[in-house]
Structure 1
């Protein structure tokens, strides 16, 4: 995979099929679907309630670290990748959500791999946390080079912490 380098961390990141760019107002319908779709949110604590969605909508547009994943071919918003400082020892954390109709096409793997590669240009390591029961997410994280580091209980479910060092 070829990742187009950037001079500025907020700049769009392009791969062969995708663009990861700051979230725009026009992206909010797709992002709202990510937050409210029961299938997307199965391993993320369930659908987000309407009052929280409204708060998130006001905060996410142009927010640093939040990237709409857009298919280059038709500009469709496929998902969301977030790269931000996290509570795990202050490390940079990557997280992601994709609309179900785009699962199984390799888009999430391509986008997450690009985001992790970009982050590792400036930080020593990247972590990701997923539920132990989320086998698809675990396979994706392993496919992009993150390694299982520890398991723990949080939010009423077994979680798995993955890490990749630069």
Structure 2
């Protein structure tokens, strides 16, 4: 994992970088790829399914520059790979990290690298970070464990078995 070259976000820029990736605010030019994330059945398999056209239109208007939403792009060619989102106080007062990546970029370690960078940076300002995934999403569970998160609870939410992971400072 190349997270050792993380540079912390600076006020006003909200960006991070790793050896291979730049995590920056979403730009208008990113919206078509981000829309694919919201509508791709494979990406959304463990996220409640593709979102409706109405929700897509609302999100398209709000995603560019949204606080806490990182567009993950390769530094070499600026291709958008996915999103990582940080929501302070989202789950019982704890900061939640979530992520989704386009299927053609799965299996290259990009998600692990990006999520590790965001978790490390977030833990500088908050005592703990949580992430939620479906119990059936084994790839996501392995990723969360690889970035040092620990399974702390299991429950049913959104009509599916969920697992909550946490990492503390």
On whether the aligned pair clears a TM of 0.5, the verdict is: yes
1:98 aligns with 101
Give 1:162's aligned residue.
Answer: 165
Partner residue of 2:30? 27
Q: Alignment length, in residue pairs?
A: 166
Partner Cα separation in structure 2 for residue 6 and residue 28 of structure 1: 22
Does the Cα contact within 8 Å between 1:10 and 1:64 map onto a contact in 2? no
Matched with 1:79 is 82
CA contact (8 A) 1:84 1:94 kept: yes
Structure 2 gap ranges (5+): none
Distance between the aligned counterparts of 1:5 and 1:128, measured in 2? 20
- What stretches of structure 1 move > 6 A for 4+ residues in a row? none
- Superposed CA deviations along residues 84-106 of structure 1, whole A, max 9, x for unmatched, are 12432111000000000000000
TM-score when scaled to structure 2? 0.96
Residue matched to 1:49: 52
Residue of structure 2 aligned with 1:36, choices 34, 39, 49 = 39
| RMSD after superposition | 1.0
- Name the counterpart of 1:122: 125
- Assess, with a 3 A threshold, how the Cα gap between structure 1 residues 87 and 6 changes in structure 2: closer, same or farther: closer
CA distance in 2, matches of 1:86, 1:123: 10
For residue 7 of structure 1, report the CA deviation from its aligned partner: 2.7
| TM-score, structure 1 as length reference | 0.97
- 1:105–1:132 distance in 2 versus 1, CA, 3 Å: same
Instruction: Kindly state the Cα deviation for residue 2 of structure 1 after the two structures are TM-superposed.
Output: 1.3
